[in-house]
Amino acid sequence: QKEVEQNSGPLSVPEGAIASLNCTYSDRGSQSFFWYRQYSGKSPELIMSIYSNGDKEDGRFTAQLNKASQYVSLLIRDSQPSDSATYLCAVNLDTGNQFYFGTGTSLTVIP
Partner 1 sequence: NAGVMQNPRHLVRRRGQEARLRCSPMKGHSHVYWYRQLPEEGLKFMVYLQKENIIDESGMPKERFSAEFPKEGPSILRIQQVVRGDSAAYFCASSPTRLFHSYEQYFGPGTRLTVT
Q: By the criterion CB under 8 A, which residues form the site for partner 1?
A: 32, 34, 36, 42-46, 49, 88, 90, 92, 96-104
Comparison of 71 and 100: residue with beta carbon closer to partner 1: 100
* Shortest CB 68 distance to partner 1, Å: 22
Kindly report the number of other CB atoms within 10 A of residue 14's CB atom: 10
Q: Please, are residues 67 and 50 in contact by the beta-carbon 8 Å criterion? A: no
* Shortest CB 28 distance to partner 1, Å: 18
Comparison of 17 and 100: residue with beta carbon closer to partner 1: 100
Comparison of 16 and 42: residue with beta carbon closer to partner 1: 42
DSSP 102: P
Peptide bond into 81 cis (omega under 30): no
* Partners of 46 in beta bridges: 36
Comparison of 7 and 49: residue with beta carbon closer to partner 1: 49
* Shortest CB 22 distance to partner 1, Å: 15
* Partners of 35 in beta bridges: 48, 89
Q: How far apart are CA 100 and CA 28, in angstroms?
A: 13
